[in-house]
A and B are shown apart, each in its own frame.
Chain A
């Protein structure tokens, strides 16, 4: 089973709202990722968690706040977003981050619209 689940599937929020995206995997993977994908573009890496610790932040604005409560769960907390943050947010996981254990499996994504 190579399933990564994400909720919600769609989210519409105002610029003053606070919302959260959720990602879950039960494959025993120890690395989890958040990506942002704009239309007709490849995904752009935002954050990497390795063994439940934030290992990479790709200079993402502080209005995006990731959290990894346990090895199966990854959240992305959203606050005071801008309309240009509207995009598909993808979660991924991999067994590890080292070569040969780094195949990333993606979830279906959350389509976010910021009004």
Chain B
């Protein structure tokens, strides 16, 4: 079956530091890949997505590239802000169904 493995953290960074959260997946076919962000006390927000190999999703300074050869979709941001503190979930949607498979989530804390 499908699975997603992401670094669990917690990750603590200083403001303006570089961020990488690793995500690798196992799936048959050609899944769609997503990063969702959950701020404290809120629901999930779609951060970015990619639907085919070599696609780069980007939003709010965050980027992730769909790498089929390494089955990865690592999240990066060049300069984090305190407001980026949240839980980040990597997820995939299989090529034959709707179902979202989530990673366990990574708690990011950015200190001033």
Contact A106 to B44, CB < 8 A, known contacts A31-B98, A42-B103, A100-B32: yes
Instruction: Write out the residue numbers on chain A whose beta carbons fall within 8 Å of the beta carbon of B103.
Output: 42
Give B residues with C-beta under 8 Å from A.
30, 32, 34, 36, 41-46, 49, 51, 89, 91, 93-100, 102-105
A40 touches B105 (CB 8 A): yes
Whether the pair B36, A106 counts as a contact (CB closer than 8 A) is yes
User: What residues on A are CB-neighbors of B99 within 8 Å?
Assistant: 45, 56
Can you list 9 A-B contacts with CB-CB less than 8 angstroms, sorted by A residue number? A2-B46, A41-B104, A45-B99, A90-B43, A90-B44, A92-B44, A97-B97, A99-B93, A111-B41
User: B94 contacts which chain A residues (CB < 8 A)?
Assistant: 99
- Count A-B pairs with CB separation below 8 Å: 60
Count of A residues near B, CB < 8 Å?
A: 28
Measured in the bound complex, the distance between the Cα atoms of B42 and A109 in whole Å is 7
What does the 1/0 interface line of A77-103 toward B look like (CB < 8 Å)?
A: 000000000001010101001111011
Quick one: which of B34, B89, B102, B103 has the most chain A CB within 10 A? B102
